[in-house]
A and B are shown apart, each in its own frame.
Chain A
Amino acid sequence: MENIAQRSINLKSSKKIIGKVLIYIILIMLTVIVFIPFLWMLSTALKSEADVFSWPPDWIPKPVQWNNFVDAWRTMPFTKFLQNTLFVVLLGMVAELISETIVAYGFARFDFPGKNLIFVILLSTMMLPFHVTLIPTFVIWNKLGLIGEFDPLVLRAWTAWGPFYIFLLRQFFMGIPIELDEAAEIDGSSPLQTFLYVLLPQIKPALLAIGVFTFKGYWNDFLGPLIYLGNKEKYTMNIGMYFFLGGINEAPKWNYLMAMSTLIALPVVVLFFIAQKYFIEGIAFTGIKD
């Protein structure tokens, strides 16, 4: 008896090891695929202008032009662009996280007439191609006299303007058993307390994910700054970067473009690396779900 038990444990653990090795193999293969464009971007960023299109392509540039990063940064007032970007990102992200959590909570936990219709309308705002609403939206901001300011990029964040994030948070809220709210209420906590201390901790992974997404959204926003800012003083990094695209008789500076792309991507990578640590298997926040 003992032997059989022993053997089955051995079998189980060897099966587990094989499984783990298999997972590693798959993950490493996928990593290679995903890494190719990133490496290509990095390698272009380190090339001299003449080597960018050399054929066959060199993965390791010779010589490696580390000063591309500094040169690209100095070509345009990127320090100013960085300040502008941080300002927009901070204001937008904070406002969006707060407003969207509240709105999603409203959709997930309360019943009122017309709720489903409103929710469908909310989703439908994502369904119309943005090019046909671009001009009327511009007209509204123009009437408000705020063209050329940062306002069109950040003020609407307070009105929970990301339907995807509302949808996402709503789904997460709806995954939490209602008994949790009820138990908290019996214990005498107010709806606000229930929201802050019972529900929010439950959806921490979702909030983290949305934090990263919104950060990236404002950080990489392209069309908004392009159309509304209209002055180099207020440009964000992402718009400043496109100066390297060149003009009619000026070739694009791919190496600078990629150097700036790399610099712009870095903070998001770091932020995500920090955030993902909180995605730990089976967090199982409370007793109720188990």
Chain B
Amino acid sequence: MERFVGTFIRWLITPVVLVLIAIGIYHLLKRLGWKHRQAMGLSLISPWIIGFLSFIAFPLVNSLFLSFTDYNLFNKPEWVGLRNYQWLFTKDIEFWPSIRLTLSYAALTLPIGVLGSLILAMLLNRKINGVGFFRTVFYLPAILPEVAVALLWRLFFNSESGLLNYILRPIFNLFNMGKPNWFGDPKFVLPAFVIMSVWGIFGTNTVVFLAALQGVPRSLYEVAELDGANFLKKFLHITVPQISPIILLQIIMGMIGALQVFTVAMFVRPTSAAGKFLNQLVYERGFTQLHMGEASAIAWVLFIIILLLTLLVFKTTPAWVYYEAEAKR
């Protein structure tokens, strides 16, 4: 047990220090003329700010700096200005295919992920026998080790003996086409990944929606039913507005997740003719080829893409996200 003592003591001290700092911040802000609630707010979030300043800010800024350098992980980074970006945008043979693959993947999977998990959550949000069993089963994909799931995909997508081609056979016959070679033929790599992403409907997303649906008051539906509203109307006018804050969250998280696919892609290893996902490219450039400068540049391009898309989504929120806390001010 000796091996736990040191960490445990430091783990006990850390929150005490954080609380003391928070109290200090509160008094400092009050003295600077902030209102009580303003000072209170900032001190409440101060633990995160401290964590950010001490552990995230440096790596973040550092990677931005490195994206303007030639850096091989071991020697001093050498400033090269915009050369990495210039190379990526104009000469790199892997960059644009990678951007195209990653963005198309995100565009195709995001709606499936958000809508699918919402519908599934609504199915699971009923008083039916055995619902606990179903909920647990549908959470399983989030628990299984990714290696196990990736292995299954390889069997499932096998063009000659996989289950998928067996199920889809009638459709192929209808269009008079052969069995697709899912991971070997560049045309089919993206569809294969989209089909795999359906898996993402289950698990975390559904649980989050399920938790959100708990907050929609039953009485609202009852009133609507008295007015003769059908399922669709209830869905659009009650469910969606009531859980819109969580839909917003799912869209943004889904976007971040889809644009950063990594583990499955590394394990399934489809033909590289279809391009690689951006995160794969970051890993290979950084850790296989030891060009951390280039890797950082790709990472920052990805970062900017995600940030812009997120801000865009946030800009639209006043039109459709309904916050109880704000609405009644």
Question: Does A pair with B?
Answer: yes
Q: Are B14 and A178 in contact (CB under 8 A)?
A: no
Q: Does B23 contact A (CB under 8 A)?
A: no
CA distance A216 to B265 in the complex (A): 22
Q: Does A276 contact B (CB under 8 A)?
A: yes
Q: Are A95 and B286 in contact (CB under 8 A)?
A: no
Q: Are B256 and A126 in contact (CB under 8 A)?
A: yes
Q: How far is the CB of B131 from chain A (nearest CB, A)?
A: 8
Q: Are B202 and A154 in contact (CB under 8 A)?
A: no
Q: Please choose the segment from A1-9, A61-69, A70-78, A278-286 that sits at the chain B interface, where 4 or more of its residues have CB less than 8 A away.
A: A278-286
- B118 partner residues in chain A, CB cutoff 8 A: none
Q: Are A166 and B60 in contact (CB under 8 A)?
A: no
Q: Does B318 contact A (CB under 8 A)?
A: no
Q: Does A183 contact B (CB under 8 A)?
A: no
Q: Are B208 and A209 in contact (CB under 8 A)?
A: yes
Chain A, interface size category, equals: 35 or more
Determine the residue in chain B with the shortest Cβ distance to A105: B44
Interface residue ranges of A104-146 to B (CB < 8 Å): 105-113, 115, 118, 120-129, 131-133, 135-137, 140
User: Which one of B126, B213, B214 has the highest number of Cβ atoms from chain A below 10 Å of its Cβ?
Assistant: B214
CA distance A99 to B55 in the complex (A): 16
- B296 partner residues in chain A, CB cutoff 8 A: 132
Q: How far is the CB of B1 from chain A (nearest CB, A)?
A: 8
Q: Are B38 and A24 in contact (CB under 8 A)?
A: no
Q: Are B311 and A41 in contact (CB under 8 A)?
A: no
CA distance A234 to B265 in the complex (A): 30
Q: Are A27 and B134 in contact (CB under 8 A)?
A: yes
Q: Are B310 and A123 in contact (CB under 8 A)?
A: yes
- A158 partner residues in chain B, CB cutoff 8 A: 11, 14-15, 18, 47, 51
Q: Are B125 and A281 in contact (CB under 8 A)?
A: yes
Q: Does B37 contact A (CB under 8 A)?
A: yes
Q: Does B172 contact A (CB under 8 A)?
A: no
Q: Are B325 and A174 in contact (CB under 8 A)?
A: yes
- A149 partner residues in chain B, CB cutoff 8 A: 6-7
* CB-contact partner of B326 in A155, A174, A212, A285, under 8 A: A174
Contact A281 to B329, CB < 8 A, known contacts A159-B47, A273-B136: no
Q: How far is the CB of B279 from chain A (nearest CB, A)?
A: 5
Q: Does B182 contact A (CB under 8 A)?
A: no
Contact A284 to B217, CB < 8 A, known contacts A132-B296, A261-B148: yes
Q: Are A102 and B44 in contact (CB under 8 A)?
A: yes
Contact A136 to B59, CB < 8 A, known contacts A95-B11, A216-B142, A273-B136: yes
Q: Are A171 and B249 in contact (CB under 8 A)?
A: yes
* CB-contact partner of A151 in B7, B42, B49, under 8 A: B7
Q: Please choose the segment from B85-93, B105-113, B173-181, B297-305 that sits at the chain A interface, where 4 or more of its residues have CB less than 8 A away.
A: B297-305
Q: Does B75 contact A (CB under 8 A)?
A: no
Q: Does A197 contact B (CB under 8 A)?
A: no
Interface string of B25-53 (1 = CB under 8 A from A): 00000000010011111111101111110
User: Which one of B41, B124, B127, B287 has the highest number of Cβ atoms from chain A below 10 Å of its Cβ?
Assistant: B41
- B202 partner residues in chain A, CB cutoff 8 A: 30, 34
Q: How far is the CB of B197 from chain A (nearest CB, A)?
A: 14
Q: How far is the CB of A163 from chain B (nearest CB, A)?
A: 9
- B229 partner residues in chain A, CB cutoff 8 A: none
Q: Does A172 contact B (CB under 8 A)?
A: yes
Interface string of B299-329 (1 = CB under 8 A from A): 1101100110011001000000001111011
Q: Are B325 and A108 in contact (CB under 8 A)?
A: yes
Interface residue ranges of A258-290 to B (CB < 8 Å): 258, 261, 264-265, 268-269, 272-273, 276-277, 279-285, 289-290
Interface residue ranges of B4-27 to A (CB < 8 Å): 4, 6-8, 10-11, 14-15, 18
- B43 partner residues in chain A, CB cutoff 8 A: 106
Q: Are B287 and A174 in contact (CB under 8 A)?
A: no
- B45 partner residues in chain A, CB cutoff 8 A: 103, 106-107, 118
Q: Does A48 contact B (CB under 8 A)?
A: no
Query: Could you give 8 example pairs across A and B, Cβ below 8 Å?
Result: A27-B124, A132-B286, A149-B6, A154-B7, A174-B323, A191-B40, A205-B212, A209-B211
Lowest 4 CB-CB distances: which A-B pairs, in order?
A: A159-B51, A110-B41, A106-B44, A282-B218
Which residues in A have some Cβ–Cβ distance to B below 8 Å? 20, 23-24, 26-27, 30-31, 34-38, 40-41, 56-57, 84, 87, 91, 95, 98-99, 102-103, 105-113, 115, 118, 120-129, 131-133, 135-137, 140, 149-151, 154-156, 158-161, 164, 166-168, 171-179, 191, 202, 205-206, 208-209, 212-213, 216, 220, 233-234, 241, 257-258, 261, 264-265, 268-269, 272-273, 276-277, 279-285, 289-290
